[in-house]
Amino acid sequence: MLTVAHGGQYFVEINEGRYMTKRRSLTAGMIDRFLTIVERLGNTLPHPATLFALMSLLVIILSWVFSQFSLSVVHPGTGETVTPVNLLSIEGLHLIITKMVTNFTGFAPLGTVFVAMLGIGIAESSGLVGSALRHLVMSAPRKMLTFVIVFAGIMSNTASEVGYVLLLPLGAIIFLAVGRHPLAGLAAAFAGVSGGYSANLLLGTIDPLLAGLTQEAAHIIQADYEVSAAANYFFMVGSTFFIAFAGTWVTDHIVTPRLGKYTGPAEAEELRGLTPDEKRGLRFALIAAIFFTVIVAAGLIPNNGFLRDAETGGMLQSPFLKGIVSFIFMGAITVGVAYGIGARTIKNDSDVIKGMGKAIETLGVYTVLVFFAAQFVAYFNWTNLGLIFAIEGAYVLEASGLGPIPLMIAFIFITAVINLVMGSASAKWAIMAPVFVPMFMLLGYSPELVQAVYRIGDSITNIISPMMSYFALIVAFMAKYEPKAGIGTVIATMLPYTFVFGFIWTLLIIAWILLGLPVGPGSELFL
């Protein structure tokens, strides 16, 4: 009897295990089918350049349609009446014609990408990138690669948006080098850089900008209220680790299994040992990097350092942070040339120029995409349609009558939705802060908390928004490894990060409120 009983118990355990495995398989299968549908639907869209051109035309038509109605809103910050601007008019036609060139040349990401890539091109063509990656891959624990890439992406936000042009291709190259799917590495880096935009261990250029807008909005209720640039620092630090671990989990358990084994055209960097020339090149590069770092440190560490803000002596508005892309350019050239001299891969100035030219050649498709994307963004801003939709959406949420925490959750949601059509974090906050900051202050919640909640919604949909400034660059990076990749590929790959980040961050802010933790130095939750 005991044997039978034991056998029966063992049988039940085996079947329970099979049942649980089957349930997990069904769940994974449903997720994979959903993302496959999203990818297929997205990839039925035209080429991104064509799509932006068509959307530009659609905005022009919609501007005429909405201008035919008595549609207007009052800007909550300035008190001015905002109405749709008709681009399907003589004045609109003149605007489109005369601003076409400046729309393109003035598109913010264009210069950032080109300048950074000029420097990175030297580092790549000299062989520095390949040698450094081989050394990194062969010496670093492979189990930590995903976490390191996501974490590095989060931290790169301190240096403005350089992570898009530096870390994203690096993540793909590293993953391919260790035999993993390169799109998984690119997705991990993108999740950290863009999805984790409001998490960090350091303050960045966006912090004082948002704090200034929050302070002005708080003055509607309390004229002497001050908001520090470090208003959300504690919450940012806590968020960093949650988002880094969440991004690692999504990459390893959802994105990588779905992508499967890579069979695309790109070839992995051979993981061979370094030659004597390459080792000498790395030593030269290290010496050059130390020399460059010492010069930068000499301008930043002293209170009167030449790279600090000349008026305040501060770091946040310093030439260093404002010109971080220039430092990336100069630093990459410094270490790239030093490596090339040491490794004997650079013999004269022509080799340096060729390296720069090769880097720019890879941006040909991206340049075309940017031209049409820049026109669309400009048209959308000129029509005031984005501004009108954002203001109306904010007022609807304000009038919903929800309690504080449900209203904050709804606030995260509407910010995330608005972020799909209005990419600039500061532009959205300039519109929304005068509505939501006073409203939550009247409910007893601090402006610093409201700003933290806003930053969650502003971050989580960056990675699936075609309106995000660098979205065209992401499509171009993916197409390098999967020639058929399009907008649908990007959205389907990144959508799990949006859901998981949104869920984790919402739980975190609710727990933060319930525990009564300050969101920053001197920034309490309640007034």
pLDDT tens digits, one per residue of 409-423 = 988 998 998 888 666
pLDDT at 42 over 70: no
> For residue 287, what are its two tokens?
């010496």
Q: What is the pLDDT of residues 62-80, one digit of tens each?
A: 999 999 987 888 876 667 8
The pLDDT value given to residue 272:
65
Percent of the chain with pLDDT over 90: 28
The pLDDT value given to residue 5:
39
The pLDDT value given to residue 144:
86
Q: What is the pTM of this model?
A: 0.67
The pLDDT value given to residue 138:
63
- Say which residue the tokens 């991206």 belong to: 366
Amino acid identity of 289? Answer: A
Q: How large is the average pLDDT for residues 74-91?
A: 84
Residue 313: what are its φ and ψ, rounded to 5°? 75, 10
Query: In whole angstroms, what separates CA 182 from the centre of its chain?
Result: 18
SS percent in the chain: helix, strand, coil, step 5: 70, 0, 25
- Specify whether the CB–CB gap between 165 and 116 falls below 8 A: yes
Rounded Cα gap, residues 148 and 454, in angstroms: 27
pLDDT at 17 over 60: no
Distances in whole angstroms, Cα of residue 139 to Cα of each of 129, 148, 313, 342: 15, 14, 40, 22
| pLDDT range class, residue 20, cuts 50, 70, 90 | very low
> For residue 288, what are its two tokens?
């050059």
The pLDDT value given to residue 64:
94
Residue 371: what are its φ and ψ, rounded to 5°? -55, -50
Residue 269 carries which DSSP code?
P
The pLDDT value given to residue 374:
84
| pLDDT range class, residue 141, cuts 50, 70, 90 | confident
- Most confident option among 22-31, 51-60, 443-452, 492-501: 492-501
pLDDT at 507 over 90: yes
Q: What is the pLDDT of residues 198-252, one digit of tens each?
A: 888 887 767 877 888 888 888 877 878 888 878 898 999 999 999 999 999 999 9
Q: What is the pLDDT of residues 288-297, one digit of tens each?
A: 999 999 999 9
Q: What is the pLDDT of residues 342-390, one digit of tens each?
A: 999 999 989 999 988 887 887 787 788 789 888 887 888 788 887 777 6
Residue 73 carries which DSSP code?
E
Query: What does R_g of the chain's alpha carbons equal in angstroms?
Result: 25
- Say which residue the tokens 């950032």 belong to: 112
**In 3-state terms, what secondary structure has residue 445?**
strand
Q: How large is the average pLDDT for residues 121-145?
A: 76
Mean pLDDT over the full length of the chain:
81
Rounded Cα gap, residues 18 and 26, in angstroms: 12
Percent of the chain with pLDDT over 70: 84
pLDDT at 3 over 60: no
The pLDDT value given to residue 298:
92
pLDDT at 1 over 50: no
Q: How large is the average pLDDT for residues 439-452?
A: 85
- Specify whether the CB–CB gap between 339 and 128 falls below 8 A: yes
